[in-house]
Structure 1
């Protein structure tokens, strides 16, 4: 019948596209990314100052403690400042000890917002009072290895790079079968998808838990970042993908640094996981439209990648 023939054709086309896409992804992921700036030019630049921005909302005190401890232990030769923004949390009393632990550390700055304003505005509240050359966004449920700031900042010493992300892992990987699968999913997303995109200097989403941005570029994009709408209302999801696309639209490269390891808490129940995936899918569909004017100026692989990602979510 016509329906059966159409179904077979659609499935065959999907299988062919998936095969071509994944084969190209694996091929490019294995290749070495080449910097657009000679190494000697990068090395002679002064060590940039870095501001770490940590928005938090109703975060578990133990998880927040681990996050802040990992930031305090950064081995970085340049100036480092850490801005922790409480976005109107209801458990402020529970995290008093976490703030007190770093009260005498001049690198730390704590801001308490009177009401919940959302992740973007919380980030911007810190960005506008900071002054570092580079901005590292870190989620409050994420810990980073001691060399993450150094490795990401080194990548950012190429002035053509506007953003860079590290490799994501699940900090609670051993908890359930679901967290183990998500950890595997993260490995594939980083070491195949992002690695392949980075071959062309165009990582399409620098993951929110640990991503570094060039301040001069970010300041010029803050209005667009803050005022993005979804169905006529201020957007409250997909901050990382949106900001990455804005960087690409502004003409900057976006990179992946696999040796910069960050571990984040992932969903351990199916309901929470599915809601997260729904948010991410909406973000992918929406911001792919924003990326359409950028794609013609990038390698053709990135167009295939955009098609593959969106078709794969259907």
Structure 2
């Protein structure tokens, strides 16, 4: 019992210290991003860059897909815009095709129907190889964009050293359940603290898939590496956005965050799907950590703390929880010190997030 209690206490204490240092540094670096003015004009391009929007779709709800495509059609972008919607062998194609038909009259839209499901990564690559725009914007099929997203992201891409840029994510179904409200808050933190701090050094570690723009010239150089990534000897079918971002950094390019390019995506409203999503994302984070570690000598020292915080923090927390559960099961005693510390940190983090996001 003493060993379990000690393990739980030490693990949660280390987690608290690491988390406090990490989050304090994160907030310190992120805060100036809130005050940074952004030019409203594309001054570095003449003519404006052409943009290809790629929307991979698999068994998407027709109403969600329709809202996604409508938001893309409504983009107020003065340059050339083309849209490639890739249906990845959906089983509900009979209800999805009419959605395609509603936009078929728009000459900017192109529809690609794959015979079988090949996964998001390969569906993206099919469209990338059929398109030719200077910039490539990936949009998830359950995501809607504010009307100025393409323009805002293209502004950031004026710098030729920038290989990728992401917008700010929000939960479009925030008001549905208590879980969707928490996820929306989680997204705000991930964007306006984590990504904003990383962007201070031009090294956003994951340009999130729902709304991420890439420079085609860089993308084509990395496409083979992206397409052939293996995990446990098999083609990888998860973590596309993180891996592609790391490849951009590895190539010596900057990756950026644009807080006023707003995209809203549908998030899980039940605990089961949410936990499966988080496990999938955690696998991606841990898998690409080794590749990220190789980049750290060329990046600011803050990014070392960032990678350690993202990977070691959850492991310490998990160790504390498991040791506490084992103590409760084996001895029928509650590890109150660990419970109080974890609860206190959770309340503080949520309160800070709610205050900064003006959700109180």
TM tier, smaller:
over 0.9
Q: Deviations over 1:75-102 (max 9, x none)?
A: 0010000000000011111022211111
For 2:193 and 2:111, locate their aligned partners in 1 and report how far apart those are by CA, in whole Å.
Answer: 37
The equivalent of 2:174 in structure 1 is: 173
**How far apart are 1:26 and its partner, in Å?**
0.2
Q: Does 1:244 align with 2:245?
A: yes
1:158 aligns with 2:159: yes
Tell me which residue corresponds to 1:256.
257
User: How many pairs were matched up?
Assistant: 311
Q: Structure 1 length normalisation: TM-score?
A: 0.95
Distance 1:274-1:41 versus aligned 2 partners, 3 A rule: closer
Moved over 6 A (4+): none
2:314 is aligned with 1:313: yes
User: 2:263 aligned with 1:296, yes or no?
Assistant: no
| TM-score of the pair, normalised by structure 2 | 0.83
Shift of 1:103: 1.4
- Residue in structure 1 matched with residue 333 of structure 2 by the alignment: none
Q: Distance in 1 between matches of 2:27 and 2:212?
A: 23
Q: 2:281 maps to which residue?
A: 280
Aligned ranges for residues 97-112 of structure 1 at < 5 Å? Answer: 97-112=98-113
1:193 aligns with 2:194: yes
Distance 1:218 1:34 in 2: 31
Alignment check: 8 A CA contact 1:33 1:198 kept? no
Secondary structure of 2:130's counterpart equals coil
CA distance in 2, matches of 1:5, 1:151: 51
For 2:247 and 2:43, locate their aligned partners in 1 and report how far apart those are by CA, in whole Å: 24
- Matches of 1:65 and 1:33 in 2, distance apart? 32
RMSD: 2.0
Question: How far did 1:311 drift?
Answer: 1.8
Alignment correspondent of 2:72: 71
Counterparts of 1:180 and 1:192, CA distance in 2: 18
Q: Which residues of 2 match residues 47-126 of structure 1 at below 5 A?
A: 47-126=48-127
1:202-228: CA deviations, max 9, x gaps? Answer: 000000000000000000111111111
1:241-298 Cα shifts (integer Å, max 9, x gaps): 0000000000000000000000000001100000000000000001111111111110
CA contact (8 A) 1:42 1:158 kept: no
CA distance in 1, matches of 2:255, 2:45: 21
Q: Does 1:143 align with 2:144?
A: yes
Structure 1 residue 9: Cα displacement? 3.8
Check conservation: 2:296, 2:303, Cα contact below 8 A. Answer: yes
Bigger CA radius of gyration: 2
- Asked if structure 2 preserves the Cα contact closer than 8 Å seen for 1:52 and 1:135, the reply is yes
Which moved further from structure 2: 190-199 or 1-10? 1-10
CA shift for structure 1 position 34: 12
For structure 1, the 5+ residue unaligned runs are none
| Change in CA separation of 1:294 and 1:103 when aligned onto 2, cut-off 3 Å | same
Q: Which has the higher helix share?
A: 2
Structure 1 distance, partners of 2:224, 2:72, is 28
1:141 and 1:264 in contact (8 A); partners too: yes
- After TM superposition, the structure 1 = structure 2 runs for residues 10-29 of structure 1, keeping only pairs within 5 Å, are 10-29=11-30
Select between 101-110 and 255-264 the one with higher mean Cα deviation. Answer: 101-110
Report SS of the residue matched to 2:164. strand
Q: Report the counterpart of residue 218 of structure 2 in structure 1.
A: 217
Give the secondary-structure state (helix, strand or coil) at the position aligned to 1:153. helix
